């Protein structure tokens, strides 16, 4: 075990927690505490993961002296509250997508991170860490298929809803296909270097307002279908199609350029240029085929790709905190490039524009706020 690695506290009891904790331990981290909303859930999670301390009180975890890294996998309405508290007292933070509920909360997170620039403040956008996406980015940068014209992304999967009514049923609480899956795709467009999103046109629908266990007064109000067009600053047109009314999970990213196309399907990558007669296999995800842990998940929020991304995130954190040179700089893998809190603020601005467009049925401009939420953060970072 590397002595330089910080102690870790986990917020949440969702499925990603049961992936990231073993991955962190495998890299040498000490997981000291876990928080959950319900006592029974967090006690069961702590017992299964062999975590010595569990609680339902946020401050009891954040204030622990043996914890320097906070990892947040809670509902989005708690992202900003926990992140701001942790950063203001000098803790590193890794937060799940989408990084709060709106731009106001995203801006609070950005400003909290700015107090101590040396602290790690990143979002767990897992697609960034996949090998085929890293290669896709490299080929785009090298003009392998010429000038990029179009990026078409499709996700077909099962329902994102819990069996009983929860925050995932309400878009104002962070639920829905756009927030939980679309935010990952918006981030991917930035990671691939396709430019910032300027204007959007979207249709958001709730095709399944009720289920066998959810209905009556408390109906589903979050979107389970998202169809969107995005105009990017580099002249690229991006299209998103997310349908969570099916079964299983398939994801396809198609990038078309002036001299060919590239297709990332699942963890694989293939492509064809105008000089080639047939598509060429550029990357095969052998790890995905051999991963028993990833194949055990059927949730659209914890797919094989997400599992692999979280494992590579754990590797990034290990490298980030392992000081192995005289200069004190860790030898980071340059292919592992995390999203920082300012990226989360930008993604929130795109999400808000998409929701507005769906309401107005018009193209809407993406406006990232730099003044909204300028009220004091004391209400978010105060302790009893």
In a domain, 350, yes or no: no
**Pair 205, 256 in one domain:** yes
Q: Which pTM does this prediction carry?
A: 0.89
246 and 323: one domain? no
206 with 254, same domain: the answer is: yes
Contact 357, 201 (CB under 8 A): yes
Report the relative pairing of strands 339-340 and 121-123 from DSSP bridges. antiparallel
Q: Three-state SS across the chain? A: CCCCCCEEEEECCCCCHHHHHHHHHHCCCEEEEEECCCHHHHHHHHHHHCCCEEECCHHHHHCCCCCCEEEECCCHHHHHHHHHHHHHCCCEEEECCCCCCCHHHHHHHHHHHHHCCCCCEEECCHHHHCHHHHHHHHHHHCCCCCCEEEEEEEEEECCCCCCCCCHHHCHHHCCCHHHHHHHHHHHHHHHCCCCCEEEEEEEEECCCCCCCCCCCCCCCCCCCEEEEEEEECCCCEEEEEEECCCCCEEEEEEEEECCEEEEEECCEEEEEECCCCCCEEEECCHHHHHCHHHHCCCCCCCCHHHHHHHHHHHHHHHHHHCCCCCCCCCCCCCCCCCEEHHHHHHHHHHHHHHHHHHHHCCCEECCCCCCCCCCCCHHHHCCC
Look at residues 104, 103, 102, 86 and name the one whose alpha carbon lies nearest to residue 94.
Answer: 86
pLDDT of residue 335: 62
Q: Is 67 inside a domain boundary?
A: yes
Same domain, 231 and 211: yes
Indicate whether 359 belongs to any domain: no
The verdict on 109 and 139 lying in the same domain is no
Residue 364 lies in a domain: no
Sign of the Cα torsion 52, 299, 86, 6 reads: positive
Nearest partner of 329 among 22, 4, 66, judged by Cα: 4
Same domain, 162 and 275: yes
- Is 361 a member of any domain? no
If asked whether residues 283 and 314 sit together in one domain, one would say no
Task: Give the pLDDT confidence score for residue 78 in this predicted structure.
Answer: 95
Q: Which domain holds residue 107?
A: 7-127+306-341+370-376
Determine the pLDDT at residue 336: 74
> Could you give the dihedral angle defined by the CA atoms of residues 180, 200, 100 and 75, in that order, rounded to the nearest 10 degrees?
-20
What's 278's domain CATH number?
Answer: 3.30.360.10
Q: How far is Cα 361 from Cα 355, in angstroms, rounded to an integer?
A: 10
What lies within 8 Å, CB to CB, of 27 at 6+ separation is 5, 314, 315, 317, 318
Looking at the fold, whether 173 and 79 belong to one and the same domain comes out as no
Same domain, 23 and 54: yes
Mean pLDDT per 10-residue segment, the chain (384 residues): 79 94 95 95 96 96 96 95 96 95 95 92 94 95 96 94 87 91 96 96 94 84 96 96 93 96 95 89 76 49 83 92 56 72 96 97 90 40 35
Residue 362 is assigned to a structural domain of this protein = no
Whole-number pLDDT of residue 369:
77
- The answer on 64 and 96 residing in a single domain is yes
CA neighbor of 349 nearest in space, from 371, 363, 372, 369: 369
Domain co-membership, 243 together with 268: yes
In a domain, 52, yes or no: yes
The structure tokens listed for 332 are 């980071």
264 part of a folded domain:
yes
Reading the block at residue 203, the tokens are 């249709």
Q: Tell whether 135 and 282 lie within a shared domain.
A: yes
d(CA 145, CA 73): 38
Q: Residue 85 sits in a domain of what CATH number?
A: 3.40.50.720
Total number of domains in the chain: 2
Q: What separation, in Å, do the N-terminal and C-terminal C-alpha atoms of the chain show?
A: 35
Q: What is the pLDDT of residue 3?
A: 52
């Amino acid at each position: 075990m590397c002595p330089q690695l910080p102690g870790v506290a986990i917020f949440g009891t969702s499925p990603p927690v049961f992936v990231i904790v073993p991955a962190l331990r495998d890299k040498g981290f000490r997981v000291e505490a876990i928080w959950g909303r319900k006592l029974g859930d967090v006690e069961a999670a702590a017992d299964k993961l062999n975590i010595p301390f569990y609680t339902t009180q946020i401050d009891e975890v954040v204030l622990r002296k043996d914890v320097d890294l906070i990892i947040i996998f809670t509902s989005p309405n708690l992202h900003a509250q926990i992140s701001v508290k942790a950063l203001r007292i000098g803790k590193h933070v890794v937060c799940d997508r989408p990084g709060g509920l709106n731009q106001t909360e995203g801006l609070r997170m950005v400003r909290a991170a700015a107090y101590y620039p040396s602290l790690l403040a990143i979002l767990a956008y897992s697609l960034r860490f996949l090998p085929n996406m890293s290669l896709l980015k490299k080929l785009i940068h090298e003009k392998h298929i010429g000038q990029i014209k179009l990026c078409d992304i499709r996700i077909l999967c099962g329902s994102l809803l819990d069996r009983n009514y929860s925050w995932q049923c309400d878009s104002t609480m962070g639920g829905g296909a756009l927030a939980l899956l679309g935010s990952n795709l918006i981030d991917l467009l930035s990671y691939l270097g396709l430019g910032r999103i300027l204007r959007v046109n979207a249709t958001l629908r709730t095709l399944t307002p009720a289920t066998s266990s959810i209905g009556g007064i408390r109906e589903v109000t979050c979107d389970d279908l998202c169809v969107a067009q995005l105009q990017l600053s580099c002249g690229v047109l991006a299209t998103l199609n997310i349908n969570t009314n099916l079964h299983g999970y398939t994801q396809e990213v198609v990038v078309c350029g002036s001299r060919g196309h590239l297709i990332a399907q699942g963890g694989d990558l293939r492509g064809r240029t105008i000089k080639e007669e047939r598509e060429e296999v550029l990357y095969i995800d052998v790890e995905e085929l051999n991963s028993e842990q990833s194949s055990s998940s059927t949730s659209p929020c914890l797919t094989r790709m997400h599992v692999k991304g979280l494992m590579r995130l754990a590797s990034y954190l290990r490298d980030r905190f392992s000081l192995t040179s005289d200069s004190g700089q860790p030898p980071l893998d340059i292919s592992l490039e995390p999203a920082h809190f300012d990226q989360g603020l930008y993604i929130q601005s795109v999400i808000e524009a998409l929701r507005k467009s769906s309401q107005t049925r018009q193209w809407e401009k993406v406006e990232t706020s730099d003044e909204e939420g300028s009220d004091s953060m004391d209400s978010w970072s105060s302790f009893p």
